[in-house]
């Protein structure tokens, strides 16, 4: 079972990396670019598990390891 | 116009960060996890541009700044 986890900074948290990329794009001539935010994709191969097991596992993995829920939010999709 | 860019390492490139996460998940008891790969999501607000302009801009942005096409591949979707 394969899955993708998307981890992004919460809206209220400043994103200096995104801000730097916005600055670089503006300097490259893309001066209409208003906002850039960076996140992570984590592609997992969960091995031989059912869809229900995958769902339960992913939730725990995200809460405990993959995302820092103080500043980040996550979404996952099972493929 | 908003867009999302997904940048991932090419399949042939080793991903030590993903490997470390796989190790951590295996130690947490998820020993069926077979593979983990890490990528980036870049969420952009391109401002007031048409869909065609957005598409052209994104391609150049990815090639020139957002992805290192020697080791990474990218996909984008316009929302």
pLDDT in tens, A50-67: 999 999 999 999 999 999
Query: Strands B72-78 and B2-9, how do they pair?
Result: antiparallel
CB B31 within 8 A of CB A16: no
| Mean pLDDT confidence for A16-31 | 96
Residue-wise pLDDT for B44-73, tens only, equals 999 999 999 999 999 999 999 999 999 999
B14 touches chain A (CB under 8 A): no
ipTM score of the complex?
Answer: 0.89
Name the residue facing A40 among B34, B35, B38 (closest C-beta). Answer: B38
Confidence of residue B14 (pLDDT cuts 50, 70, 90): very high
Domain residue extents for chain B? 2-78
Q: Name the pTM for this structure.
A: 0.91
Residue in chain A nearest B8 by alpha carbon:
A41
Which of 3.40.50.20, 3.30.565.10, 3.30.1280.10, 3.20.110.10 would CATH assign to domain B2-78? 3.30.1280.10
CB A8 within 8 A of CB A73: yes
Sheet holding B35-45, edge to edge: A72-78, A2-9, A35-45, B35-45, B2-9, B72-78
Q: Which residue of A2, A5, A20, A30 to mutate against B (max B Cβ within 10 Å)?
A: A30
Q: Note the pLDDT of residue B38.
A: 97
């Amino acid at each position: 079972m394969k899955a993708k986890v998307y981890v992004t900074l919460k809206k209220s948290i400043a994103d200096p990396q995104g801000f730097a990329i916005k600055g670089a794009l503006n300097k490259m001539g893309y001066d209409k670019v208003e906002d850039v935010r960076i996140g992570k994709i984590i592609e997992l191969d969960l091995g031989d598990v059912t869809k229900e097991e995958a769902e339960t596992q992913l939730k725990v993995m995200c809460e405990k390891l993959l995302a820092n829920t103080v500043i980040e939010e996550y979404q996952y999709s099972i493929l």
